[in-house]
Amino acid sequence: MSELRNRIGKDELKKRLKEESFNRKTISFYRYVKIQNPTELRDQLFKQWNDLNCFGRIYIATEGINAQMNVPEHNWDEFEKQLNTIAEFKNVPLKFAFDGNGKSFYKLVIKVKDKIVADGIKDEDFDSSNTGIYLNAVQFNDAVNDPNTIVVDMRNHYESEVGHFDRAYCPDADTFREELPLVVEHLKGKEDKKIVMYCTGGIRCEKASAYLKHKGFEDVHHLQGGIIQYAKEIKEQGLESKFKGMNFVFDERIGERITDDVLSDCHQCGKPCDRHVNCKNDDCHLLFIQCPDCEERSNGCCTPKCMEIAALPIEEQRKLRKGRIKNGPECLSVYKSRLRPKLSEIIKKDISL
């Protein structure tokens, strides 16, 4: 019987992934569907996908599944066959990564959650199945070109910072839960306008479209398959990309380049850059934008304090972490939320490289 969780260390798993002699397909899929026993299904999927050497991050809840993963090419047919034998997921639309390098995940993680997308909605009358109208790439481009259409980005600030559609309203929020009320407030008084929404793979704007309809908006549309599917369609059909820059993804790649446009700046030196990294101080791991030159000067850290901590032997780092709140005041992580709009200014002020 297969183990129901990974027991191997991160460094070893990454080493194995790097040394693989075969290719992997990176995919994402989701479906809002009633699942009677999420824990039982979770264990079933872990056994099947672990045996096929699949990696990824998958959430299962009574409301459905949300999966980002990679599959060895030589096991693809068996993976697809197994997926289609599960009634809830039969013929679920699969979205393939734009860059397709396969080095997206290094282990398999499947978790049971209360919801596949944390939305903060407590209204019992809300019907998540009453969604807006799907738009393909051609239709979405037409909508973006129409000045009477309102374009809404349903992703977090750090995602839209490095890439977004022309004319899009990009909420200044850290989570989907925070975004929903911000979007409703922004659109107040425009309930009769045509609203078009997008996100990375479609799962967030599908629920958001239903929420807007619940709040009285009449003409709501959303990009089918999200930016991932859009990038595939414009490439195949030779269309102009109305999405500019980098598509942030939640895996080891962090971003997929859609166009050559660079929309953001390095948070340390201010020169054009859209390269997200995590601070190398394990007690910080702040996600920020850092150019290669600043990475070299700061050893991949966000501030001198984090450089100092990251340079210590690992046992000393663990002693510092022990007995106190993680992401404490010693490092820049305290600024993740409340002071986030001034993040680049804070880094530039605190850094002395």
Tell me how far the alpha carbon of residue 63 is from its chain's centroid.
19
Residues 175 and 98 in one domain: no
Question: Does the residue 292 lie in any domain?
Answer: yes
Domain containing 301 equals 276-350
Question: Does the residue 230 lie in any domain?
Answer: yes
User: In this structure, are residues 266 and 252 in contact, taking their beta carbons and an 8 Å threshold?
Assistant: no
Angle at 346 between CA 300 and CA 324, to 5 degrees: 70
Put the strands of the sheet holding 149-153 in their side by side order: 133-135, 219-223, 194-198, 149-153, 168-169
Residues 178 and 208 in one domain: yes
What confidence score (pLDDT) does residue 303 get?
86
Q: What is the pLDDT along the chain (353 residues), one digit of tens a residue?
A: 345 777 777 888 888 888 899 999 999 999 989 999 999 999 999 999 999 999 999 999 998 999 999 999 999 999 999 999 999 999 999 988 876 666 789 999 999 999 998 888 888 888 888 899 999 999 999 999 999 999 999 999 999 999 999 999 999 998 999 999 999 999 999 999 999 999 998 999 999 999 999 999 999 999 999 999 999 999 999 999 999 999 998 777 788 899 999 999 999 899 999 999 989 988 888 888 999 999 999 999 988 888 988 888 888 887 776 654 444 444 444 344 333 444 555 555 554 43
CATH of the domain at 58: 3.30.70.100
CA–CA gap between residue 5 and residue 193 (Å, rounded):
48
Residues 149 and 89 in one domain: no
Question: Does the residue 256 lie in any domain?
Answer: no
Residues 231 and 191 in one domain: yes
CA–CA gap between residue 284 and residue 4 (Å, rounded):
29
Residues 180 and 137 in one domain: yes
Tell me how far the alpha carbon of residue 48 is from its chain's centroid.
25
- Segment 46-50 long-range contacts (CB within 8 Å, at least 24 positions apart): 46/2, 46/4, 46/5, 46/108, 46/110, 47/1, 47/2, 47/4, 48/82, 49/79, 49/108, 49/110, 50/2, 50/3, 50/108
Question: Does the residue 260 lie in any domain?
Answer: no
Question: Does the residue 4 lie in any domain?
Answer: no
Pairing of strands 194-198, 219-223: parallel
What confidence score (pLDDT) does residue 251 get?
74
Residues 232 and 297 in one domain: no
SS3 30: strand
What confidence score (pLDDT) does residue 323 get?
52
Residues 233 and 140 in one domain: yes
State the DSSP code for 245: E
Last-in-domain residue among 77, 112, 147: 112
What is the residue-wise DSSP string for 57-115?
A: EEEEETTEEEEEEEEEGGGHHHHHHHHHHSGGGTT---EE-SS--S-S-SSEEEEE-S-
Residues 29 and 99 in one domain: yes
Pairing of strands 95-96, 149-153: unpaired
What confidence score (pLDDT) does residue 326 get?
45
Question: Does the residue 5 lie in any domain?
Answer: no
Number of domains in the chain: 3
Question: Does the residue 126 lie in any domain?
Answer: no
- Positions marked active-site: 199
Question: Does the residue 268 lie in any domain?
Answer: no
Residues 170 and 96 in one domain: no
CATH of the domain at 196: 3.40.250.10
Helix (H) or strand (E) holding 314: helix 314-321
Query: Which residue in this structure is represented by tokens 């990696």?
Result: 55
Residues 219 and 303 in one domain: no
Residues 20 and 105 in one domain: yes
Q: Strand ranges (DSSP E) for 1-54? A: 24-32
